[in-house]
Homo-oligomer: A and B are copies of this chain.
Protein backbone atom coordinates (compact mmCIF):
# COMPACT_ATOMS: atom_id res chain seq x y z
CA UNK A 1 0.00 0.00 0.00
CA UNK A 2 1.32 3.35 -1.07
CA UNK A 3 -1.12 5.75 0.54
CA UNK A 4 0.20 8.73 2.39
CA UNK A 5 0.16 7.93 6.10
CA UNK A 6 -0.88 11.47 6.88
CA UNK A 7 -4.22 10.97 5.19
CA UNK A 8 -4.92 7.67 6.92
CA UNK A 9 -6.98 7.33 10.04
CA UNK A 10 -5.62 5.40 13.00
CA UNK A 11 -7.75 2.36 12.19
CA UNK A 12 -6.72 2.40 8.54
CA UNK A 13 -3.13 2.35 9.69
CA UNK A 14 -3.71 -0.66 11.94
CA UNK A 15 -5.54 -2.51 9.18
CA UNK A 16 -2.76 -1.72 6.70
CA UNK A 17 -0.21 -3.32 9.03
CA UNK A 18 -2.41 -6.39 9.52
CA UNK A 19 -2.95 -6.78 5.78
CA UNK A 20 0.75 -6.36 5.07
CA UNK A 21 1.58 -9.03 7.65
CA UNK A 22 -0.99 -11.34 6.09
CA UNK A 23 0.08 -10.72 2.52
CA UNK A 24 3.75 -11.29 3.25
CA UNK A 25 2.74 -14.79 4.41
CA UNK A 26 0.28 -15.37 1.57
CA UNK A 27 -2.48 -16.00 4.10
CA UNK A 28 -5.30 -14.17 2.32
CA UNK A 29 -6.42 -17.56 0.95
CA UNK A 30 -7.33 -18.65 4.50
CA UNK A 31 -8.94 -15.39 5.57
CA UNK A 32 -12.48 -15.80 4.30
CA UNK A 33 -15.25 -14.26 6.42
CA UNK A 34 -16.35 -17.56 7.97
CA UNK A 35 -12.88 -18.46 9.21
CA UNK A 36 -12.16 -14.92 10.40
CA UNK A 37 -15.39 -14.95 12.44
CA UNK A 38 -14.38 -18.29 13.91
CA UNK A 39 -10.93 -16.90 14.74
CA UNK A 40 -12.51 -13.97 16.64
CA UNK A 41 -14.50 -16.47 18.69
CA UNK A 42 -11.48 -18.62 19.47
CA UNK A 43 -9.41 -15.63 20.59
CA UNK A 44 -12.33 -14.34 22.65
CA UNK A 45 -12.42 -17.70 24.43
CA UNK A 46 -8.73 -17.41 25.27
CA UNK A 47 -9.53 -14.04 26.76
CA UNK A 48 -12.38 -15.56 28.80
CA UNK A 49 -10.10 -18.30 30.05
CA UNK A 50 -8.09 -15.64 31.91
CA UNK A 51 -11.15 -14.96 34.07
CA UNK A 52 -12.48 -18.52 34.43
CA UNK A 53 -13.31 -19.64 37.99
CA UNK A 54 -12.42 -16.14 39.25
CA UNK A 55 -14.89 -13.79 40.85
CA UNK A 56 -15.23 -10.21 39.67
CA UNK A 57 -12.67 -8.91 42.16
CA UNK A 58 -10.02 -11.51 41.32
CA UNK A 59 -10.73 -10.92 37.64
CA UNK A 60 -9.54 -7.34 37.90
CA UNK A 61 -6.22 -8.66 39.22
CA UNK A 62 -5.51 -10.76 36.13
CA UNK A 63 -2.15 -9.97 34.55
CA UNK A 64 -2.71 -7.03 32.17
CA UNK A 65 -0.04 -8.42 29.85
CA UNK A 66 -2.18 -11.48 29.21
CA UNK A 67 -5.33 -9.44 28.66
CA UNK A 68 -3.33 -7.31 26.24
CA UNK A 69 -2.23 -10.34 24.24
CA UNK A 70 -5.63 -11.97 23.92
CA UNK A 71 -7.53 -8.76 23.34
CA UNK A 72 -5.04 -7.79 20.63
CA UNK A 73 -5.83 -11.07 18.86
CA UNK A 74 -9.56 -10.39 19.05
CA UNK A 75 -9.01 -6.92 17.57
CA UNK A 76 -6.69 -8.22 14.86
CA UNK A 77 -9.24 -10.66 13.45
CA UNK A 78 -12.11 -8.23 13.96
CA UNK A 79 -10.26 -5.55 11.97
CA UNK A 80 -9.45 -8.08 9.23
CA UNK A 81 -13.09 -9.14 9.01
CA UNK A 82 -14.20 -5.50 8.80
CA UNK A 83 -11.64 -4.94 6.04
CA UNK A 84 -12.69 -8.11 4.18
CA UNK A 85 -16.28 -6.85 4.13
CA UNK A 86 -15.50 -3.22 3.36
CA UNK A 87 -16.88 -2.03 6.68
CA UNK A 88 -15.76 1.20 8.35
CA UNK A 89 -15.23 0.34 12.01
CA UNK A 90 -15.93 3.79 13.38
CA UNK A 91 -19.07 4.14 11.33
CA UNK A 92 -20.53 0.75 12.24
CA UNK A 93 -19.89 1.22 15.95
CA UNK A 94 -21.39 4.71 16.00
CA UNK A 95 -24.41 3.47 14.06
CA UNK A 96 -24.84 0.64 16.54
CA UNK A 97 -24.72 3.06 19.45
CA UNK A 98 -27.57 5.02 17.82
CA UNK A 99 -29.59 1.85 17.31
CA UNK A 100 -28.99 0.74 20.88
CA UNK A 101 -30.00 4.16 22.17
CA UNK A 102 -33.45 3.45 20.70
CA UNK A 103 -33.60 -0.10 22.06
CA UNK A 104 -32.38 1.03 25.46
CA UNK A 105 -33.92 4.43 26.25
CA UNK A 106 -32.26 5.95 29.32
CA UNK A 107 -35.54 6.14 31.23
CA UNK A 108 -36.20 2.43 30.98
CA UNK A 109 -32.72 0.97 31.04
CA UNK A 110 -30.94 3.08 33.65
CA UNK A 111 -29.28 0.90 36.25
CA UNK A 112 -30.64 -2.39 34.95
CA UNK A 113 -28.85 -5.06 32.91
CA UNK A 114 -32.09 -6.42 31.47
CA UNK A 115 -32.24 -7.17 27.77
CA UNK A 116 -34.31 -4.72 25.70
CA UNK A 117 -36.86 -7.48 25.09
CA UNK A 118 -37.52 -7.63 28.84
CA UNK A 119 -37.59 -3.92 29.57
Contact = CB atoms under 8 A, between A and B. Distances in A.
Interface in A1-39: 9-11, 13-14, 17-18, 21, 24-27, 29-30, 32-35, 37-39
Contacts of A76: 93, 96-97
A106 B24 contact: yes
Give the number of copies in the complex.
4
Interface string A43-71: 01111111111111001101010011101
A6 to B, nearest CB: 14
Given A41-B44, A93-B72, A93-B76, A33 B55 contact: no
A21 B97 contact: yes
Given A40-B47, A113-B53, A78 B87 contact: no
Given A27-B109, A40-B47, 7 more contacts: A26-B110, A32-B56, A32-B59, A38-B51, A40-B44, A42-B45, A67-B87
